[in-house]
Amino acid sequence: MDLKDIQKYEDIELLVSKFYDKLLDDPITKDKFTHLDVKEHLPKIVDFWAFILIDKPGYKGNVFDRHSHLNLQPAHFKRWVEFWVSTVNEMFKGPRAEQAVHRAMLLSYTFQSKMHGNDENKIL
């Protein structure tokens, strides 16, 4: 099957939904999301990634502030990146898919730097 690139909002909805299925099923990450109303949360995450990947206006918020209270550790970030990269690669191929992977790695590094300083255990 030839994979297409991320092109529209609906592509991002599918990507984020499949990604969160993995997070919510994983023993390392699921506890960080049990308090979450996923039906309410997912549209916000989709809007964030649509803003990043397809320049869709409308996302307002501070992603870091929304996650800073979760006490996320390097192991959580490692899984987050692994799941995001694998989900993107399973579903899409192209410049925007590559951008999705690179942006996730940058987000992970930035979050970890803000939360843990120069901890050498940071995962890219």
Distance of CA 66 to the CA centre of its chain: 13
Q: Would the pLDDT of 77 be above 90?
A: no
Question: Mean pLDDT throughout 75-97?
Answer: 94
- Count CB atoms within 10 A of the CB of residue 93: 15
What whole-number distance in Å separates Cα of residue 41 and Cα of residue 70? 15
pLDDT at position 34 is: 74
120 — pLDDT class (breaks 50, 70, 90): low
Q: Percent of the chain at pLDDT above 70?
A: 79
Q: What is the mean pLDDT of the chain?
A: 83
pLDDT at position 118 is: 58
Total length of the chain: 124
Q: Which of 32-41, 72-81, 93-102, 110-119 has the lowest mean pLDDT?
A: 110-119
Among candidate residues 1, 2, 16, the one with its CA nearest the CA of residue 53 = 16
pLDDT in tens, 21-75: 998 899 988 887 777 777 888 888 899 899 999 989 876 765 555 555 566 777 8
User: What superfamily in CATH does domain 9-116 come from?
Assistant: Globins (1.10.490.10)
What tokens were used for 57? 């206006």
pTM given for the model? 0.82
pLDDT at position 61 is: 67
Residue 118 half-sphere exposure toward CB, CA atoms < 13 A:
0
